[in-house]
Structure 1
Amino acid sequence: MDENNRADKQLLMKGIKRMGICLLLMFLGPSLLHFTFYNDDKPLYIPLLIISIIICIAAIAMLFIGLNTILNSIFKKKK
Protein backbone atom coordinates (compact mmCIF):
# COMPACT_ATOMS: atom_id res chain seq x y z
CA MET A 1 0.00 0.00 0.00
CA ASP A 2 1.14 3.49 -0.75
CA GLU A 3 2.17 5.63 2.24
CA ASN A 4 -0.11 8.49 1.09
CA ASN A 5 -3.25 6.31 1.25
CA ARG A 6 -2.93 5.35 4.92
CA ALA A 7 -4.94 6.89 7.71
CA ASP A 8 -3.32 9.32 10.12
CA LYS A 9 -3.20 7.12 13.23
CA GLN A 10 -2.85 9.95 15.75
CA LEU A 11 -5.84 11.77 14.31
CA LEU A 12 -7.79 8.50 14.19
CA MET A 13 -7.09 7.83 17.87
CA LYS A 14 -8.17 11.38 18.69
CA GLY A 15 -11.45 10.74 16.87
CA ILE A 16 -11.99 7.44 18.67
CA LYS A 17 -11.42 9.16 22.03
CA ARG A 18 -13.98 11.79 21.09
CA MET A 19 -16.45 9.05 20.18
CA GLY A 20 -15.81 7.46 23.59
CA ILE A 21 -16.63 10.78 25.27
CA CYS A 22 -19.74 10.97 23.10
CA LEU A 23 -20.81 7.50 24.24
CA LEU A 24 -20.40 8.51 27.87
CA LEU A 25 -22.44 11.67 27.32
CA MET A 26 -25.10 9.73 25.42
CA PHE A 27 -25.78 7.63 28.50
CA LEU A 28 -25.30 10.37 31.09
CA GLY A 29 -27.54 13.02 29.49
CA PRO A 30 -30.75 11.03 29.00
CA SER A 31 -30.29 9.24 32.34
CA LEU A 32 -30.00 12.55 34.15
CA LEU A 33 -32.94 13.92 32.17
CA HIS A 34 -35.07 10.91 33.14
CA PHE A 35 -34.06 11.32 36.78
CA THR A 36 -34.89 15.03 36.62
CA PHE A 37 -38.36 14.49 35.13
CA TYR A 38 -39.31 12.03 37.88
CA ASN A 39 -38.19 14.43 40.62
CA ASP A 40 -39.90 17.59 39.43
CA ASP A 41 -40.97 18.54 42.96
CA LYS A 42 -37.38 18.90 44.20
CA PRO A 43 -35.74 22.34 44.55
CA LEU A 44 -32.94 21.50 42.08
CA TYR A 45 -35.34 20.65 39.26
CA ILE A 46 -34.54 23.62 36.98
CA PRO A 47 -30.71 23.50 37.35
CA LEU A 48 -30.65 19.73 36.77
CA LEU A 49 -32.95 20.11 33.78
CA ILE A 50 -30.67 22.73 32.24
CA ILE A 51 -27.53 20.66 32.91
CA SER A 52 -29.06 17.49 31.45
CA ILE A 53 -30.19 19.30 28.29
CA ILE A 54 -26.69 20.80 27.89
CA ILE A 55 -25.18 17.31 28.28
CA CYS A 56 -27.54 15.93 25.61
CA ILE A 57 -26.58 18.73 23.22
CA ALA A 58 -22.89 18.13 23.99
CA ALA A 59 -23.33 14.43 23.14
CA ILE A 60 -24.71 15.32 19.72
CA ALA A 61 -21.92 17.84 19.13
CA MET A 62 -19.22 15.33 20.16
CA LEU A 63 -20.77 12.79 17.78
CA PHE A 64 -20.35 15.12 14.82
CA ILE A 65 -16.89 16.29 15.91
CA GLY A 66 -15.70 12.71 16.45
CA LEU A 67 -17.03 11.48 13.13
CA ASN A 68 -15.51 14.46 11.33
CA THR A 69 -12.13 13.78 12.96
CA ILE A 70 -12.24 10.10 11.99
CA LEU A 71 -13.22 10.91 8.42
CA ASN A 72 -10.46 13.53 8.19
CA SER A 73 -7.90 10.97 9.35
CA ILE A 74 -9.00 8.52 6.67
CA PHE A 75 -9.68 10.70 3.63
CA LYS A 76 -7.46 13.80 3.93
CA LYS A 77 -4.37 13.81 1.77
CA LYS A 78 -1.09 14.67 3.46
CA LYS A 79 0.82 17.59 1.96
Structure 2
Amino acid sequence: MFTKKELLNKGIKLMLYALPLMFIGPSVIYNAFINKKNMWHYLVLAVGVFLCFLAVYFLFKGIKNVTDSLFNNER
Protein backbone atom coordinates (compact mmCIF):
# COMPACT_ATOMS: atom_id res chain seq x y z
CA MET A 1 0.00 0.00 0.00
CA PHE A 2 1.61 3.21 -1.20
CA THR A 3 0.74 6.66 0.05
CA LYS A 4 0.67 9.85 -1.96
CA LYS A 5 3.16 11.90 0.00
CA GLU A 6 2.20 15.27 -1.50
CA LEU A 7 -1.45 14.82 -0.58
CA LEU A 8 -0.50 13.52 2.87
CA ASN A 9 1.71 16.56 3.50
CA LYS A 10 -1.05 18.89 2.34
CA GLY A 11 -3.54 17.25 4.72
CA ILE A 12 -1.17 17.46 7.68
CA LYS A 13 -0.44 21.10 6.85
CA LEU A 14 -4.16 21.91 6.82
CA MET A 15 -4.63 20.22 10.19
CA LEU A 16 -1.70 22.22 11.57
CA TYR A 17 -3.44 25.41 10.40
CA ALA A 18 -6.56 24.31 12.28
CA LEU A 19 -4.76 23.67 15.56
CA PRO A 20 -4.14 27.29 16.66
CA LEU A 21 -7.56 28.33 15.36
CA MET A 22 -9.15 25.80 17.72
CA PHE A 23 -7.77 27.75 20.66
CA ILE A 24 -7.96 31.31 19.29
CA GLY A 25 -11.62 31.11 18.18
CA PRO A 26 -13.14 30.16 21.56
CA SER A 27 -10.85 32.65 23.32
CA VAL A 28 -12.13 35.46 21.11
CA ILE A 29 -15.74 34.36 21.70
CA TYR A 30 -15.12 34.31 25.46
CA ASN A 31 -13.61 37.80 25.26
CA ALA A 32 -16.68 39.03 23.36
CA PHE A 33 -19.04 37.72 26.06
CA ILE A 34 -16.96 39.24 28.84
CA ASN A 35 -17.06 42.73 27.25
CA LYS A 36 -20.79 43.01 26.49
CA LYS A 37 -20.87 46.72 27.31
CA ASN A 38 -18.31 47.51 24.63
CA MET A 39 -19.65 48.75 21.30
CA TRP A 40 -17.44 46.25 19.40
CA HIS A 41 -19.12 43.24 21.09
CA TYR A 42 -20.93 41.91 18.02
CA LEU A 43 -17.97 42.39 15.69
CA VAL A 44 -15.62 40.51 18.03
CA LEU A 45 -18.23 37.77 18.45
CA ALA A 46 -18.60 37.42 14.68
CA VAL A 47 -14.82 37.18 14.25
CA GLY A 48 -14.65 34.48 16.92
CA VAL A 49 -17.43 32.44 15.33
CA PHE A 50 -15.75 32.80 11.92
CA LEU A 51 -12.45 31.56 13.36
CA CYS A 52 -14.19 28.53 14.88
CA PHE A 53 -15.86 27.67 11.57
CA LEU A 54 -12.53 28.11 9.79
CA ALA A 55 -10.88 25.69 12.23
CA VAL A 56 -13.56 23.06 11.62
CA TYR A 57 -13.27 23.52 7.84
CA PHE A 58 -9.47 23.15 7.87
CA LEU A 59 -9.69 20.11 10.14
CA PHE A 60 -12.22 18.25 7.97
CA LYS A 61 -10.40 19.19 4.77
CA GLY A 62 -7.11 17.96 6.26
CA ILE A 63 -8.62 14.67 7.45
CA LYS A 64 -10.15 14.14 4.00
CA ASN A 65 -6.78 14.72 2.32
CA VAL A 66 -5.01 12.35 4.71
CA THR A 67 -7.55 9.58 4.18
CA ASP A 68 -7.46 10.11 0.40
CA SER A 69 -3.69 9.77 0.41
CA LEU A 70 -3.71 6.65 2.58
CA PHE A 71 -6.43 4.80 0.66
CA ASN A 72 -5.32 5.99 -2.81
CA ASN A 73 -8.64 7.63 -3.56
CA GLU A 74 -8.62 9.22 -7.01
CA ARG A 75 -10.11 12.68 -7.46
User: When the two structures are superposed, what TM-score results if normalisation uses the length of structure 2?
Assistant: 0.91
Would the alpha carbon gap of residues 69 and 77 (structure 1) be closer, same or farther in structure 2, given more than 3 Å must change? closer
Aligned length: 74
Would the alpha carbon gap of residues 10 and 39 (structure 1) be closer, same or farther in structure 2, given more than 3 Å must change? same
Which ranges of structure 2 fall in alignment gaps of 5 or more residues? none
Question: CA deviation digits over 1:21-57, x for unaligned, max 9?
Answer: 1111101100111111101111110111111111111
Rounded Cα–Cα distance in structure 1 between residues aligned with 2:8 and 2:73: 14
Tell me what 1:44 maps to.
Answer: 40
Alignment of 1:1-79 (within 5 A): 5-76=1-72
User: When the two structures are superposed, what TM-score results if normalisation uses the length of structure 1?
Assistant: 0.87
CA RMSD of aligned residues (A): 1.2
Would the alpha carbon gap of residues 40 and 77 (structure 1) be closer, same or farther in structure 2, given more than 3 Å must change? closer
